[in-house]
Amino acid sequence: MSYGAPSLERVPIMINVSLLQMMMEARTFFGGGATPSDRTWPVANLALYLPLLIPKKINVANMFWQNGATISGNVCMGLYNEAGTRLQQTTIVAHAGASAIQAPSITAFDLPRGRYWLGIAFSSATATIRGFGTSAVGADANKWCAIGEEALGSTQIPTTMTPVASARNVFLPFIGITRN
Amino acid sequence: MYAAPPTGMPDPFFIHTFTDDGVGGPIISLNAQALTSTAWGTANLALFIPFTITERHTYVRACVCNGATVAGNFDVGVYRGTARLFSTGTTAQAGVSQMQVVTGLSWTLDPGDYYLALATNSTTATFMCGNIASGGYGMAVTGGKQQTTAFVLPNPATLANYATVFVPLFGIFEKTWV
């Protein structure tokens, strides 16, 4: 058996968009610690892809987002590897629970150290999600945070993501994962 | 030769001066301020901002964040020490208050410490910048370097201590979709 040095890297129980593991620069570009507020999903069946950096293997318990006050349509969330291949997803679920964290049931899975993307799509352009919508960088805050987007034909997030440059200047949804 | 697998936080897809691998975030945190459109002030000045990567990556886009006035030409590059490894070459600044992207790059970097470099030949060209209190303070915070009369980006560079009161937002990205 080979010796493996212990990893001292800490991984928070909950990783969300305000933490280093997703986008440290968000603290700068999206209002510098501003409180998330209700944001209307920009376009029906639009997927957003946000970077996720994992410093050591974890066991993922949930993928989640925080709803806004207006509930509408369906939601699907997934996890992609660095190359853009979908590894895990939630089922397509009804958007439910005003202003609540929504975390569809999934089977826990191991996630090795690496670079990933979290994808999320809403079917409704009136649904709201908590998020950040002010920018300290001017236009193109999403691009500077490496956020991509993709127009889908449905709410089902694809097996392979094909993002384009985000046309959302400032739209950072409050999403993330939790670990066991 | 055996190389131990990388550990710890992976490198971000987008290396720019305000990522954790750059220095802008701490500057903003220290001063609790937003980025502002800032004139370069000194034609042909080049700024060098350090960053570190732990794995091999190939970058295909170089990006700058233009301010409210565009003018002249800029040059973005990557240095290892004083050696210029890559640069975009002179590029007309275009598009106010938005990200300007230089495409067609294939810059492969091995793990190590580097400088992101930006120079412009215009005094009036503006970029979105984090502003810092004084030149000396800036050097202490950024670990950056600068060179006057450095357009286009020279090889090798002659690095002097950072004495500029702002840090521009610019960087390099691994993906084609910005």
The amino acid at residue B84 is: R
What residue has token string 């700068």?
A28
Instruction: Quickly state the pLDDT bin for A165 (edges 50, 70, 90).
Output: confident
Which of B7, B24, B177 has its CB closest to that of A28?
B24
| Cis peptide bond prior to A12, omega within 30° of 0 | no
CB contact under 8 Å between A136 and B35, yes or no, is yes
**Residue B135 located in a structural domain:** yes
pLDDT at A7 over 70: no
Residue B22 CA to residue B143 CA, distance in Å, equals 10
Best residue in A143, A149, A164 for a mutation probing chain B (most B CBs within 10 Å): A143
User: What average pLDDT does chain A have?
Assistant: 87
Instruction: Quickly state the pLDDT bin for A112 (edges 50, 70, 90).
Output: very high
Instruction: Quickly state the pLDDT bin for A110 (edges 50, 70, 90).
Output: very high
Q: Which domain holds residue B41?
A: 26-173
Pairing of strands A58-66, A109-111: antiparallel
pLDDT at B85 over 80: yes
- When divided into structural domains, chain B yields a total of 1
pLDDT of residue B166: 87
Element of type H or E holding B30: helix B24-31
C-alpha of A43 from chain center:
16
**Residue B133 located in a structural domain:** yes
- Give B7→chain A minimum CA distance, Å: 7
CB contact under 8 Å between A55 and B8, yes or no, is yes
Q: What is the domain-level CATH number for residue B77?
A: 2.60.120
**Residue B178 located in a structural domain:** no
Chain B hits for A29, CB-CB cut-off 8 Å, are: 18
Q: Which residues pair with B100 in a beta bridge?
A: B64
- Give percent of chain B with pLDDT exceeding 90: 64
pLDDT of residue B26: 55
pLDDT of residue B144: 87
Instruction: Quickly state the pLDDT bin for A25 (edges 50, 70, 90).
Output: low
Task: Please work out, in degrees rounded to the nearest 5, the angle formed at the alpha carbon of residue B33 by the alpha carbons of B147 and B30.
Answer: 75
- Give percent of chain A with pLDDT exceeding 90: 63
C-alpha of A167 from chain center:
17
SS3 per-residue string spanning A111-150: ECCEEEEEEEEECCCCCEEEEECCCCCCCCHHHHCCCEEE
- Give B111→chain A minimum CA distance, Å: 16
Q: Which phi and psi angles does B31 have, rounded to 5°? A: -100, -5
Q: How far is CA A119 from CA A102, A114, A171, B9, B116, in A?
A: 15, 16, 14, 21, 30
Domains of chain A by range and CATH? 14-179 (2.60.120)
pLDDT at B133 over 80: no
Tens-place pLDDT, residues A35-63: 788 999 999 999 999 999 998 999 999 99
CB contact under 8 Å between B65 and A51, yes or no, is no
Instruction: Quickly state the pLDDT bin for A88 (edges 50, 70, 90).
Output: very high
Mean per-residue pLDDT, B152-156: 98
CB contact A19 to B (< 8 Å): no
pLDDT of residue A32: 56
pLDDT of residue B122: 98
Tens-place pLDDT, residues B26-54: 555 555 467 889 999 999 999 999 988 99
**Residue B49 located in a structural domain:** yes
Q: How far is CA B130 from CA A2, B31, B143, B148, in A?
A: 47, 9, 15, 20
- Give percent of chain A with pLDDT exceeding 70: 83
Please report how the helices B135-142 and B24-31 are oriented relative to each other, as an axis angle in degrees rounded to 10.
130
**Residue B110 located in a structural domain:** yes
Burial of A118 (0-12, 13-18, 19+ CB in 10 A): buried
Tell me which residue of A37, A43, A71, A5 sits closest to A173, measured CA to CA.
Answer: A37
pLDDT at A1 over 90: no
Q: Which residues pair with A78 in a beta bridge?
A: A89, A119
**Residue B159 located in a structural domain:** yes
